[in-house]
Each structure stands twice: as structure tokens, then as C-alpha cells.
Amino acid sequence: MTLHYDIDACTGCMLCTKVCNFGAIEKDGDKVKFDMDKCVLCGSCEEVCNDNAIKIERKAIDKEAIAQYKDVWVWCETNEGRLKGVANELVTKGRELADKLGERLVAVLIGHEIEGKAEGLIHQGADKVFVVDEKIFEHYTTDAYTIALNTLIAPHKPAIVLYGATSNGRDLAPRVAARMALGLTADCTGLDIDEERQLIQTRPAFGGNIMAEIISPYTRPQMATVRPNVFKPSDPDTSRTGEIEKVEMTISPIQVRTKVMESVNEFVEGMKSVEEADVIVCSGRGIKDPSNLELPKQLAELLDAAVGGSRPIVDLGWLPPSQQVGQSGRTVCPKLYIALGISGAIQHLAGMSSADIIVAINKDPDAPIFEIADYGIVGDIFAVLPEVIEAVKKVQAER
């Protein structure tokens, strides 16, 4: 794992200094110099160097050991007996990866009284479902779930294990991975298989300013958490068949070192979840006052939409945290996203840019939100929004 720089071969074209994303290459007279504290050996410089002056030597891969690992696994999260939306998204994506590898897709269902969900996962694309159904798994705990997953993974040797990047998924995956001394890629927004049958894990970094492709070349299983609402679930095929295997697992309460004393649901009565809604009406700083949220709420009611907020207005307490859209809130992928008075900071865009149709109303013509909006209106939301509400009412009345 080293970078070799052939200073004599280098013609000083400086191309490498321009492509380095880590600030590791600097001009040094006619040549360049490398700061190995910053270099991550990503290979961007090696790729652009026309003089073959940069060579990256990587560790050898134990191909024989790696070949023993087969199948794509998806941990299918449940909450109070309900399957989380991301489970179906991952089974759909996992199916695609398994097909590319010519291997099986295995779903892992852990919980209590959740056996009935197994068939749906087969319809969604799984070839096999492991069901671990015990009272101790009724509520998520790090310890019980880590033990259950490790117990399944160790003997079966899957090549890939995927988790939804939910609160619990991001708590569990690093624990499972660290127990097996494995790499883990967080919050992926893209997954693919390369020509060497490796999992290519694409994720945003630096607040969404840059995308990174991560691989885990030396170890198996390859593990990743995947952002919810990025991949679309396919329509279930009820004619699909597969195997359901119930696994008995005895975990003593002593092995579970945390105790959930109370579970509080903070979803405000009558407020639709932004993660599940087909339409979201989202407000930003431009809404100016919490009392003005009545307008977006009216529009949301007409469209059966969720009411969302950008980080600034959630920080101000105008909407509960459950409604926050963006990097530090929820990632959403609705059919229609209406952004009101939202400028469109990169952190906000990271949470909503994959919506099918984006509408923006903002009085600042240079607001970044317009760069991604399918339909932008430059204007005062307080003048335009009431008219939009009236126009929607009219269209709906005509139907």
C-alpha cells in the first residue's frame, strides 16, 4: 500500500494536482510533491498521469478466501411488527445485485411476531428468508440484534450484507462489522457490482459536495448501510416462491446490556410522515413566522401531502424534528416536492433532490433551489401561494 512517484518520468504537467480531492499533491518547482498524511491512495492522480510517473501499489487480495463468500443479504428492519419501507427498497436493489453476481438474495427478518412478513419479502425478490422470532427481539437493542446477525452471518458467509441507514441500522451495522473486523460504508446512495465482482459503494461526503466510491477489497462480507428513499421498491410479484427458514435463537437477558424502559413516539397527531408521503410541501426560512405555516398546511391538506421544514425552521421549533428534510433530517423521495422559501443549501438538496418533480417558489432568483427545480416561480410566496391554493381547489372541483 504505497504510492511510487517517478520524479524523472514526471513532465510537470500538474494534471495530478488538479484532480486530487484530498489536497495531497502540491506543485514543487517543475515537479510535484505528495503529502502522504492526506493521501488516501484513491488513484485519481494515477489515472490522469500521462507520463506513468505515479504508480500505486496495493495489498494483495486473497482471492481464494474471498471466493468462499456468496449471496447478497439484506437486514429487513421491523418496528412494532411493521416492516420498514427501506426493507423493500433494499430487497429490490439487492435482487439486482444478486442477479449480477448470479447468486441468491437472502433476507434476514428479526423481531417478534413478524413471521408473517417473510412471504412479502419473497414476493419482493428474496430467494430465502431467515426468520428470527423471539420475545427478546420485540424492541430493538444493539446487543440482541448484533448477536443474532453475527450468529447468522458467521457460518453462512455472505458476500454482501446491506442495512437501511435508519437510526437502528446505523447503530447496528458498525457493531456487527467491528465484531468481525470488517469495513463498513455508511449511508450509500448508489450500489453496483464491478467486473471483479466487488461491491461498489457510492456515498456523498463533505456535506454532499462530493461523491466517493468505496470498495472493501480484502475482506468479506462487504457491508454497507443504505440511505432510505433512494432506491425505489419494485411491485411485488405474488407468484414468486422461495424458502423460509425459522432460526431458533436463545439469547439470555444478561447478554443485553441496555434496557429500553420506555419508547416514545413523537409523530404529531395528524402530521403525515415526510418519509412516506407521495407529496411534500416543505417550508424554509422564507416563511418568516410560524403563524404563516397555515398556508403550506392548507396546500398540504388539499394535496394529501406531508408538511416538511428545512433545518432552520425546525431548529427554531416551528415544526417537530420528525418533519425536517435534508442531510441532518430525513431523506425523502416523493413524487412531488414543493419548496417554499427554501434557498436550497447543499445539505437540504442532499435530502430531497431525487424527488420526481420539484417545484420551488422563492423570491431570490439566484436561489440554488432553482438549479434543480422542474418548475420554479420567482416571486413572493405570500402572493403566489394563496393563488396556488385557489388554483388547486379549482382543478379539484372540476374533476
Minimum distance, C-beta of residue 239 to another protein, in the bound complex (Å): 29
CA nearest neighbour of 94 among 107, 79, 83, 85: 107
Binding of residue 238 to another protein (CB under 8 A): no
Quick one: 78 or 124, whose CB is closer to another protein?
A: 78
Find the shortest distance in angstroms from Cβ 246 to another protein: 27
Please identify, among the stretches 31-39, 111-119, 127-135, 231-239, the one whose residues bind another protein according to the rule CB under 8 A. Answer: 31-39
Q: How far is the CB of 95 from another protein (least distance, A)?
A: 24
- Which residues make Cβ contacts (< 8 Å) with residue 229, sequence separation at least 6? 85, 86, 89, 275, 330, 331, 332, 333, 354
Task: Choose the stretch contacting another protein; rule: CB under 8 A; options: 93-101, 123-131, 280-288, 356-364.
Answer: 356-364
Residue 310 CA, chain-centre distance (Å), reads 19
Interaction mask 148-187, another protein, x per CB under 8 A = ------------------xxx-xx-xxx-xxx-xxxxxxx
In this chain, which of 119, 143, 192, 301 binds another protein, going by CB under 8 A? 143
Tell me if 309 contacts another protein by CB under 8 A: no
Instruction: From 68-76, 114-122, 130-138, 204-212, give the range in contact with another protein by CB under 8 A.
Output: 204-212
What is the Cβ-side half-sphere exposure of residue 317, based on CA atoms within 13 angstroms?
A: 0
Residue ranges in 208-227 that form contacts with another protein under rule CB under 8 A: 208-219
CA dihedral 287, 288, 289, 292 (to 10 degrees): -30
As a whole number of angstroms, the distance between CA 357 and CA 335 comes to 6
Selected binder of another protein within 116, 267, 290, 316 (CB under 8 A): 267
Smallest separation, CB 241 to another protein (Å): 32
357 forms part of the interface with another protein (CB under 8 A)? yes
| Site map 51..80 versus another protein, x via CB under 8 A | -------xx-------------------x-
Q: Is the dihedral of CA 96, 101, 103, 106 positive or negative?
A: negative
Q: List all residues 6 or more positions away from 89 whose beta carbon is below 8 Å from its beta carbon.
A: 164, 226, 228, 229, 230, 231, 232, 233
Question: What is the phi/psi pair of residue 178, to 5°?
Answer: -65, -35
Q: Minimum Å distance from CB 14 to another protein? A: 11
Tell me the three cell numbers of residue 164. Answer: 437501511
> 56: which DSSP letter?
E
Min dist CB 99 to another protein, Å, is 23
**60, 254, 264, 397: residue in contact with another protein (rule CB under 8 A):** 264
Long-range CB contacts (< 8 A, 24+ apart) of 141-144? 141/256, 141/258, 141/260, 142/171, 142/172, 142/175, 142/258, 143/255, 143/256, 143/257, 143/258, 144/251, 144/255, 144/256
Minimum CB separation of residue 275 from another protein in Å reads 8
Q: Is position 234 an interface residue for another protein (rule: CB under 8 A)?
A: no
Q: What part of residues 336-355 is at the interface with another protein (CB under 8 A)?
A: 336, 345, 347, 353
Please report whether residue 99 would count as binding another protein according to CB under 8 A. no
Nearest CA among 219, 234, 202 for reference residue 94: 234
